[in-house]
Structure 1
Amino acid sequence: MSDLKERILSILHKPQLAALATVTEMGNPWVRYVVTVGDGDLIIRCATFAESRKVKHIEGRSDVHLTCGVNSFMEMQPYLQIQGVATVTADKDERHSFWNDMLSPIFEGPDDPRYRVIVIKPYRIEYCTPGSYEPEVWTR
């Protein structure tokens, strides 16, 4: 595994607040906060409601952008700019494997019919370091 991929994984592997941008039906960008978790293959997941606006956006156009990695205004650290393709799934295995206790105040469990998982497959990740104007780039 490359050093860059290891550094990207060190940011993605834990649950964190991220900004997810989708494209509206009118072709405009729309950004909202989500909580994401990435796996060893750099696939990123987050939970959503089946009837959410982001689901409609992704079903209309699957291109998304995600920014994550900064958790404090007081301590700038490396962060990621991620371009990818998103899908929304109601697959039972996917919902059960992504389920965690943080979701229990929002959904009734992994079989809640309102619960979906957004799966983001990145094709470009920029690893940005504060103070540097040139990100390191990973591509699939």
Structure 2
Amino acid sequence: MNQTEIRDKIEEILNESHTGTMATVKNNKPHSRYMTFFHRDLILYTPTDKNADKTEEIDANPYTHVIIGYEGEGFGDEYIEYQGKVTFNHSEELKKELWNDDMKSYFDGPEDPNYTLLEIHPIGVRLMNKKGEPPIELEI
């Protein structure tokens, strides 16, 4: 599989899968949680509350590990391991664009002052578990 095919497959998984785990470091230990992800090319975005624990964790260590795409069918499911560096994106335009009604459980609307986006830039992306084949690294 060449790099274009790898990237295409990764983008296909990102288009189809929106929930994954995101790990940060809390008290020098891994801390994971499920998050909802959107993407533009290979940059991931996920909504969060400005007051959430993860914002302090990211301030202390801006690196994350995300797993996204596993469908639960068992051995052979493809998924992505994504290592990235996180920044906070406060763009009102992007917050409105990515807003959906599922977020109403957490925020009053796209103008909610506690609603912000985590923007994750890739530093390593691997396509995993293609029916027992070894991981395939995307060149970033």
Give the TM-score normalised by the residue count of structure 1.
Answer: 0.89
Whether the aligned pair in 2 keeps the contact of 1:58 and 1:88 (CA below 8 Å) is no
Q: How far apart, CA to CA, are the structure 2 residues paired with 1:73 and 1:14?
A: 15
C-alpha deviation, 1:133, in angstroms: 4.7
Q: How far apart, CA to CA, are the structure 1 residues paired with 2:14 and 2:61?
A: 24
RMSD of aligned Cα (Å): 1.8
Q: How many residues align?
A: 138
Q: How far apart, CA to CA, are the structure 1 residues paired with 2:63 and 2:114?
A: 23
C-alpha deviation, 1:30, in angstroms: 0.7
Q: Structure 2 vs 1, CA of residues 130 and 4 (structure 1 numbering), >3 Å: closer, same or farther?
A: closer
- Provide structure 1 residue ranges, at least 5 long, that are not aligned to the other structure: none
Q: Decide which structure has greater helix share.
A: 2
CA-to-aligned-CA distance 1:94-114 (integer Å, 9 cap, x gap)? 212221222123211111011
C-alpha deviation, 1:75, in angstroms: 7.5
C-alpha deviation, 1:76, in angstroms: 4.7
Whether the aligned pair in 2 keeps the contact of 1:14 and 1:38 (CA below 8 Å) is no
Counterpart secondary structure, 1:20: strand
Q: For 1:90, give the aligned amino acid.
A: H
C-alpha deviation, 1:74, in angstroms: 5.3
Q: Structure 2 vs 1, CA of residues 79 and 132 (structure 1 numbering), >3 Å: closer, same or farther?
A: same
> What are the residue-to-residue correspondences of 1:1-140 with 2, within 5 Å?
2-14=4-16, 16-24=18-26, 26-39=27-40, 41-73=41-73, 76-140=76-140
